[in-house]
Amino acid sequence: MRSRYITNQPRVDKNFQSLARRVDALDSQGVGAVLSNYSWLNLLDKPYADIRSFGAIEGGIADCTGAFSDAIATGLPVYVPPGLWLVLGIVLFSKSVIFGAGWSSIIKHKAGATDHLFTLADEDVYGVMLQDLKINGNKDNQTNPVDVINFDNTGGTFPEWDDPLHTFGNLFIYKPKRDGMYLGAAGTGTQGCYAGNVQIYKAGRHGFNIAGADNLWTGCIGGNCDDHCWNISEASSIFFGCRGYGAGALASVDADGIHITSAAVDLRFLGLQGQEHHRHGLCIDGLGGHNFSSVTLDHNAGDGLALIGGTQNNSFGELKCSENTGYDVMAEAGCTGNRVHVTVGDISKVYIGEAKNEIHVNTQEGHQGIEPSWAGSPPAATITPEPYYGSRIHVYLEGNLTINAPTARHIGMTMRFMLLQDASGSRDIILNSAYKTTWTPSKVANKYDVIEFAFDGTNWIELTSTVGVG
């Protein structure tokens, strides 16, 4: 009889036909049981195991779980050809490799699954690689809280390195019932891993729910997830060019694009976008010590950047926030030691509830010259400074000047006036009652009177002053 082991192999080369004849001959001698573990496939001059050689049937109807398990057991990289392949769950071992041909190679989680789609055999598994696949979590037909990828190396030990060093590349993960990818947990958990171009859409909970450490994330995207697109509890991980959008839009929950928990510490982000979320674009809730550069947060129903839960010592460079329904930048009381350089579209959308932060909004630290309209006899003018457009304010006095308090300001911001008397001198400078100072300007012709204030939440308090210089 013809060997059943090759019935689903569409293209059979001469070497394979020869081997099949040998298998049939052995089968006729009653040793078929010896072949049941498919170890004969290692005789093939092929660098991978094709799931079709193990009975996998394309089309999304037949359960291919067994075929995947048998292919993995060979120890060879497992090839998933173009087509739709249905599985209940796949258990991976150290150095397991599963790869496909891109989006045309689709692995679908079988309806009613009780196990996560991809899991590790135990906490000591290391060196797993998943790449070039489209993975359908089949969320609408699942009743159990199952993830697509669920790796947890907590407590594991590894013979070749201190970390498990898993690799995820070019994966499109669609409609997981719960999380698209879960990595746990910090400390001795799933760490030293690399993920590049992993895209997760329409997860039933989080797109990325990651709690490992020392991982590298490059060009990864979470979109339209029911909860946070990124729920991050990692330590010392690095993120390049990652993005979250549309969190909570489907389930109408208070979800953020990137939500960083109090368990996370010392994260690095370069190139990050949080857009069109049901709550905040980026929310840091507690602890901190993170560094951000080139971040864009826009069109969120809550705040662009939200610092809450007493988070401390975060640094933001090149942060841009615009068209958020709440604040563009919000730091609640108790959040201290944060350094933020931000460009906002609306200067009224900045709320800093704590003075112990260094906040630079737009060109707040820059210089601006004000040219008042002098009117009356003697000439006089009134100005209302706008320190977000430059906190070093230069005015050439051609008459008496009244200075109002700014309407847009935040706790801890500073403002310095450099007031130059004209050739006549003796121009009066009248400060609003919100300015608390004992300063008396010199009013000497062609000389500067300089004073600097800081806002304490109610009043502008004098920091330094100089008279009659220049």
In 93-205, DSSP assigns E strands to: 97-100, 105-109, 118-120, 129-136, 149-152, 167-174, 181-184, 194-201
Answer yes or no: are the C-beta atoms of 464 and 424 closer than 8 Å. no
Q: How far apart are alpha carbons 156 and 193 in whole angstroms?
A: 14
pLDDT tens-place string over residues 215-246: 999 999 999 999 999 999 999 999 999 999 98
Confidence band of 31 (pLDDT split at 50, 70, 90): very low
A 10 A CB-CB count for 156 gives 17
> Tens digits of per-residue pLDDT, 336-374?
888 888 888 777 788 888 777 778 888 777 777 888 888
Are 405 and 434 in contact by the 8 Å Cβ rule? The answer is yes
Q: How many CA atoms lie within 13 A of 276 on its CB side?
A: 9
* pLDDT given for residue 387 in this prediction: 85
- d(CA 339, CA 265) in angstroms, rounded, equals 16
Q: Confidence class of residue 171 from pLDDT cuts 50, 70 and 90?
A: very high
Among the residues of 255-303, which ranges form H helices?
none
pLDDT bucket at 45, cuts 50 / 70 / 90: low
Helix then strand then coil, in percent of the chain rounded to 5, is: 10, 40, 50
Quick one: pLDDT at residue 30? Answer: 43
- pTM higher than the cut 0.85: no
What rounded mean pLDDT belongs to the chain?
A: 87
pLDDT band at 44 (very low <50, low <70, confident <90, very high): low
- Structure token digits, residue 93: 């071992």
What average pLDDT does this structure show over 277-306?
Answer: 94
- Read off the pLDDT band of 188 (50, 70, 90): low
pLDDT of residue 218: 97
Q: Is the peptide bond before 47 cis (omega within 30 degrees of 0)?
A: no
Residue 251 clears pLDDT 70, i.e. is over it: no
CA 75 to CA 357: how far, in whole Å?
A: 55
Domain ranges of the chain: 367-469
Which pLDDT does position 32 carry in this prediction? 44
